[in-house]
Structure 1
Amino acid sequence: MTRNDSSLFTRLAVLVSLVLCVGATALAIAAWYYARAAADDAYDRVLKGAALQMADSLTVDGGEMIVDLPASAFELLGLAERDRLFYRIVDPEGKTLTGYADLANGSDLSAVRSEPIVQNGSYSGDPVRIVVVARAFSDPALSGWAHVIVAQTTEARRALAAELTTRAVLLVLIMSVMALAGTALAIRYALRPVWRLGAALNSRDSQDLKPIEVDMPREMRPFVGSINHFMGRLERRVSQLERFIADAAHQIRTPLTALTAQVDLLGQDKLGAGARQHLERVQQRAEELARLTNQLLSHAMVIHRADAVRLAPVNLVDIARRAFRAAVPITLSPDIIVSFEADESDPKVLGDAVSLREAIVNVIDNALRHGTLSRLEVKVSSEAGNAVIEVEDDGPGIPREAWESVTQRFATPKQNGGTAGLGFSIAAEVASAHGGTLGFRERNERGFVVVLKLPLLTGEGD
């Protein structure tokens, strides 16, 4: 039994999508780190440039440090409109000359010498980026290192980092969607040999068990080889089964016919009452054995033809008439009235003539053996898009509660027991193979009816 698993295309697409999602997530994280570093680098350059301009504006006059902050430095920092600016100028003695005296308070300024130092910090509860620049003075009246501390809030750089990240993520998403679409097309193209193999198998006749000859990729050759190996084994088994059925039909029917003939030659007038009773039982059992053997072989033939024979348009009236002639024996009692009737619609169906004939023969045979008392009627007609074959007898019929069971193998329609058979089972299987049904109609004042319905061939009227 096959499970209803997802398709190979879906599984590949899902796996590729997962890989793309992981890759896109990694790229988005990397883009965020890169954008933040790029924003910090850009704004740090501006911050250091402003601090260096402030440091260059410091002069010494008469032993005192003069602070003349250039406007260009503030204009440069003012490009970040969202941010606030803080600064502090410290002379060589460590005194704050101007600015915010508590900015970077407690920092070791002596560590700053040749290169500006940029670091993160906080001021007035806000995160800031701080740059410290040192400048050496060697005036006789004032010597040492003066420091310029400039701090700027980080709103603008965060906004720039978010914008860069958003653009990068959008680009990654677009590329991922394009990659997924391209992958889907590639998977579809790569799976074409699988669909080509399936089409080659579906288009084959059911009797064609020759090896498959289809151009396949190297990866699929073991699969095709396994199919060819299996088909070879199946062909050998089917051939053995066909030979067995043919041999059985010949080897079993011949001795049964001879046995029946030999039993009939025994003169009952020369036998006692007990012997005649035993002889009658032998005759009855021989007939039942011959009938059951014929039904078993017929059932095997019907099953084989259902898978091996292509259906073709057939005239149901001709088939039913031949079945009627074959099923009604010449030795039938003259007290039984049999009739065959077909309307003018001349219904045609798409079917196998041999299997349909066997089905109708078995239905008529069941009626003669288990139902008919004095009348048997076979009618062929069409109604509501179906071709209908009705076999009616004046017997007791089959109880409604037994209708389902009598279509099973080795079930008997006789209410008082009797020999079980395959008649209705064969007819039901043939009807099902042709898209039809085998049903019953309850006994009325005329009799009991077995109804075989088959879909009319397209274009045929009711």
Structure 2
Amino acid sequence: MRVAHSLYGRLLAWLALPLLSLGALLLLQAGWQAKATADRAHDRLLDAASLAIAEQVQWQDGRLWLDLPPAALEMLAGDAEERVFYSLVDQQGRHITGNAELPAHPGADAESGDTLLYRDLEWQGLALRQGVRRSRLEDWRNRERFEVRVAHTREGRDALRQALLRGNLAGILGMGALAVASLLLAVRAALKPLTRLRHAIRARDPRTLVPLELSLPRELAELREALNELLVRMRRVRANQERFIGDASHQLRTPLAGISARAELALRDTDPEAWRDALTTIQATSERTARLAMQLLSLTRLDNPEYQATHRPLDLNACVRRAVRDHWTSCRQAGVDLGAECAEGEVAVNGTEWQLEEALANLIDNARRYGARRITLATLRSPPRLVVEDDGPGIAPERRLLALRPFHRGRDDGEGSGLGLAIVDGIARTHRARLTLDAGAEGGGLRVELRFAEPSP
């Protein structure tokens, strides 16, 4: 299985995403802190250098005079060999002395006290960090103001920033590696119960449907309970299938045994009339057995959960007319009056034609076998309904629900298989129709109604 489609991979992806975001933020913060620390350290050097220069400024011969100590500039030139510039300016802004005429700070004014103002600037193609100190002479006879401007290039700052960043980066990468390792171990440990559940399911005998007994966390315990509920339903389905197979075997074994016994007796007899009677009986039994086999196949197909019938628009009136035409001869030979009362126009539903014809065939056959002398097929509108009504003995109200079970027969006279109404019920469920069993219009007989939903436009 590819990692992208596995639960393990998805958990890693979702947990690694905030971890990577946090790592990126830490890297940004480390870079910002390294720059701020480097600037703060070198700004203190600017402060010390400008203060050392300012302390050497004197008034001599009617003008400002500076005896610059070498240490004042040496402290700004570190191992990175930065270029250092300074300038002394009087209160009128005239350049007095220095190795460069540095520009004034835009935030400095005449009222500024003995303060140092910093800024980054581009000057003659050089990236500089400048410090401007506003000060005055300490002589009590002359308090003239002046300005010391000191600047140096950024090589030392950048070198210190990179060194600090490398140190922070090593720590961040170490913590990141530890976090990734912890994440991998945590995800693997969290999914271990799921692995145990998978192994338990694979190790089970496919023929057993007993519940799973496995200690799991709450989330997987819910999955275990869902699986156990599925196993319960599967046991119920298998029990129903075994019962159905047993009943079907019994229903088929009885007529087949009768055919075999009848044929054996006929072979021992030499009278042609006895042979004819035996063949007539065998033919009738064969027809009932074939009918039973067809009903068993229909019921099996309807009970298959994977079977999905394709519904299409159809007319219930057309289904009723075809059913009357197909069963007219057999009903007439049995002395049964078969008729139809169709609604005007078209009664449209979404359904499967052969299933509705199978339902009508079973209802007609049930009514004829149980003694009805009149069978009426009808259709109604709003909502669409299909009705089969007869004047037979009917079904008692307390036994109508039992009549929908397979192999349940209203009487034990050898007629019928007890599958007709079960098949009709299955067809109604596949059409999402409501099946109701009631007494006939005059209080006798049986009225079977299938109520369909209105077809979607």
What TM-score, normalized by structure 2, do the two folds share?
Answer: 0.57
SS in 1 for 2:150: strand
**Aligned 1:271-286 pairs, distance under 5 A:** 282=283
- 1:63–1:141 contact (8 Å) kept in structure 2: no
How many angstroms apart in 2 are the aligned matches of 1:44 and 1:208? Answer: 81
How many angstroms apart in 2 are the aligned matches of 1:282 and 1:41? Answer: 112
How many angstroms apart in 1 are the aligned matches of 2:2 and 2:252? Answer: 43
**Aligned 1:47-58 pairs, distance under 5 A:** 47-58=46-57
> Structure 1 4/170 Cα, relative in aligned 2: closer, same or farther at 3 Å?
closer
Name which of structure 1's ranges 4-13 and 69-78 shifts more when overlaid on structure 2: 4-13
Cα deviations by residue, 1:177-232 (Å, 9 ceiling, x for unpaired): 22111111111111111111122222222232222221111222221111111111
- 2:105–2:132 contact (8 Å) kept in structure 1: no
Which residue does the alignment assign to 1:33?
Answer: 32
Residue 261 of structure 1, CA deviation: 2.2
- The AA in structure 2 aligned to 1:183 is L
Which residue does the alignment assign to 1:89?
Answer: 88
Which residue does the alignment assign to 1:176?
Answer: 176
- 1:51–1:150 contact (8 Å) kept in structure 2: yes
**Aligned 1:353-372 pairs, distance under 5 A:** none
How many angstroms apart in 1 are the aligned matches of 2:72 and 2:109? Answer: 22
> Structure 1 168/140 Cα, relative in aligned 2: closer, same or farther at 3 Å?
closer
> Structure 1 95/40 Cα, relative in aligned 2: closer, same or farther at 3 Å?
same
SS in 2 for 1:227: helix
Residue 166 of structure 1, CA deviation: 3.3
How many angstroms apart in 1 are the aligned matches of 2:73 and 2:149? Answer: 14
Residue 106 of structure 1, CA deviation: 7.2
Residue 40 of structure 1, CA deviation: 0.5
Structure 1: runs of 5 or more not aligned: 297-462
Cα deviations by residue, 1:312-358 (Å, 9 ceiling, x for unpaired): xxxxxxxxxxxxxxxxxxxxxxxxxxxxxxxxxxxxxxxxxxxxxxx
Residue 98 of structure 1, CA deviation: 0.9
- The AA in structure 1 aligned to 2:116 is P
Which residue does the alignment assign to 1:258?
Answer: 258
Which residue does the alignment assign to 1:222?
Answer: 222
- The AA in structure 1 aligned to 2:20 is C
Residue 165 of structure 1, CA deviation: 2.3
Cα deviations by residue, 1:235-287 (Å, 9 ceiling, x for unpaired): 121122122222322332132111232144346862699x79x779949968x
- 2:3–2:9 contact (8 Å) kept in structure 1: no
SS in 2 for 1:211: coil
**Aligned 1:320-359 pairs, distance under 5 A:** none
Name which of structure 1's ranges 261-270 and 88-97 shifts more when overlaid on structure 2: 261-270
Which residue does the alignment assign to 2:130?
Answer: 130
Which residue does the alignment assign to 2:368?
Answer: none
Which residue does the alignment assign to 2:118?
Answer: 118
Which residue does the alignment assign to 2:213?
Answer: 213
- 2:259–2:282 contact (8 Å) kept in structure 1: no
**What is the number of equivalent residue pairs in this alignment?**
293
- 1:263–1:283 contact (8 Å) kept in structure 2: no
SS in 1 for 2:87: strand
SS in 2 for 1:179: helix
How many angstroms apart in 1 are the aligned matches of 2:140 and 2:31? Answer: 52
Residue 37 of structure 1, CA deviation: 0.6
How many angstroms apart in 1 are the aligned matches of 2:242 and 2:171? Answer: 67
> Structure 1 5/23 Cα, relative in aligned 2: closer, same or farther at 3 Å?
closer
Question: How many percent identity over aligned positions?
Answer: 31
Which residue does the alignment assign to 1:99?
Answer: 98
How many angstroms apart in 2 are the aligned matches of 1:279 and 1:178? Answer: 90
Which residue does the alignment assign to 2:44?
Answer: 45
> Structure 1 220/140 Cα, relative in aligned 2: closer, same or farther at 3 Å?
closer
- 2:83–2:153 contact (8 Å) kept in structure 1: yes
- 1:88–1:148 contact (8 Å) kept in structure 2: yes
**Aligned 1:313-462 pairs, distance under 5 A:** none
Residue 13 of structure 1, CA deviation: 0.7
> Structure 1 140/92 Cα, relative in aligned 2: closer, same or farther at 3 Å?
farther
SS in 2 for 1:150: strand
Which residue does the alignment assign to 1:199?
Answer: 199
Which residue does the alignment assign to 1:415?
Answer: none
- 1:16–1:180 contact (8 Å) kept in structure 2: no
> Structure 1 194/54 Cα, relative in aligned 2: closer, same or farther at 3 Å?
same
SS in 2 for 1:94: coil
Structure 2: runs of 5 or more not aligned: 298-457
How many angstroms apart in 2 are the aligned matches of 1:90 and 1:42? Answer: 26
How many angstroms apart in 1 are the aligned matches of 2:271 and 2:144? Answer: 153
> Structure 1 87/111 Cα, relative in aligned 2: closer, same or farther at 3 Å?
farther
Which residue does the alignment assign to 1:372?
Answer: none
Which residue does the alignment assign to 1:353?
Answer: none
Residue 4 of structure 1, CA deviation: 10
- The AA in structure 2 aligned to 1:270 is P
- 1:260–1:283 contact (8 Å) kept in structure 2: no
How many angstroms apart in 2 are the aligned matches of 1:4 and 1:285? Answer: 61
Which residue does the alignment assign to 2:433?
Answer: none
